[in-house]
Amino acid sequence: MARIYSDRDASLEPLKGKKICIVGYGSQGHAHALNLHDSGLDVVTALPEWDKESWKRAEKDGIKAVSLENIEGDLIAMLIPDMVQPEVYRKFVHEKLKEKSAILFAHGFNIHYNQIVPPPNVDVIMVAPKGPGPLVRRMFVEGKGVPALVAVQQNASGKALQIALAYAKGIGATRVGVIETTFKEETETDLFGEQVDLCGGVAEMIKNSFEVLVEAGYQPEVAYFEVLHELKLIVDLIYEGGIFNMWKAVSETAKYGGMTRGKRIFTSAVKEEMRKILREIQSGEFAREWILENMAGRPVYNKLLEMEASHPIELVGKEMRKLIPWLK
């Protein structure tokens, strides 16, 4: 069983009187900074000079902003896009890490794949909320929280876990539950999920089923509602009560057809391919490919994104969504 921490397992004490520097004021950064500030902790955000938007937003929120040159703190949280973190770390963070201070991440990629290698005399910790930043903020304001993962990669102070839990408490995550993991587990499962299931798998399933219907002569509008729009209703049922909750809610015909035909789509060959993708993640092959792709200026990424944007389902979807009043 996973170790799950709640409010009574965590204290803000390890962060009281400590300086927290949140690098980045984006999706996660703004939420963490505001929640920690509201929890009574000493927070500044560090921002690049060119990002005037983030500077204005922090000022409006009453969070003190400093430039990257002035990063300092007992805990430095790296809340900028993963692919820019290594360079920002090398230029502005590495030399600022004091003995027994802490560096914190919200995703394990750069530590797990050695793109950032902090000195051995600092704590390396992770608090990864299982939700987007705006939700992390909204739930906190409502007195609730978003669950998070917590991990310790390096424990130089001897209190790394307590410090991570204090941070998790400060952003509201222990109000609901914080699951202990490792940088390796968080990174590999996160990449696997988004590639196979959440983003990659779902997008291909929708596009392929749409194409089959349209190629067989059915109207794209009807196909859109069938294979994309209705997916939300199904996912909501699964999210709220599990897969069986969905089976209970759909018609007898949908149950029988789904249970017998779904297995023919997700064949053992598909499952074998999932294992192959997992092995590429575990071996670092995917990480290398993505890092090199970034160094090359993202030629494949840009092309694929262009193709996604111009898929026929996007055109019909744009029109169909105009008909749906609650999407306005």
Active-site amino acid positions: 107
The verdict on 82 binding ligand NAD (CB under 6 A) reads yes
Q: Which of 20, 43, 107, 287 binds ligand NAD (CB under 6 A)?
A: 107
Region near Mg ion per CB under 5 A, out of 20-28, 84-92, 189-197, 259-267: 189-197
The verdict on 112 binding ligand NAD (CB under 6 A) reads no
DSSP state for residue 150 in the 8-state scheme: E
Q: How far is the CB of 26 from ligand NAD (least distance, A)?
A: 2
Among the listed residues 91, 39, 31, the one whose alpha carbon sits nearest the alpha carbon of residue 61: 31
Measured from the CB atom, the residue of 190 and 316 that comes closer to ligand NAD is 190
Q: Which of 145, 165, 190, 210 binds Mg ion (CB under 5 A)?
A: 190
Helix, strand, coil distribution of the chain in percent, nearest 5? 60, 15, 25
CA angle 28, 243, 193 (to 5 degrees): 40
User: Interaction with ligand NAD in 24-53: which residues (CB under 6 A)?
Assistant: 24-29, 47-48, 51
Q: Which pairing describes strands 102-105 and 75-78: parallel, antiparallel, or unpaired?
A: parallel
Residues in contact with ligand NAD, total (CB under 6 A)?
22
**How far is the CA of 175 from the CAs of 12, 62, 73, 144, 170, in angstroms?**
13, 25, 26, 6, 10
Give the CB-side neighbour count of residue 159, counting CA atoms within 13 A. 16
Measured from the CB atom, the residue of 174 and 316 that comes closer to ligand NAD is 174
CB atoms within 10 A of CB 47: 25
The item of ligand NAD, Mg ion, none sharing an interface with residue 167, based on CB under 5 to 8 Å by kind, is none
The verdict on 132 binding ligand NAD (CB under 6 A) reads yes
Which residues are near Mg ion by CB under 5 A?
190
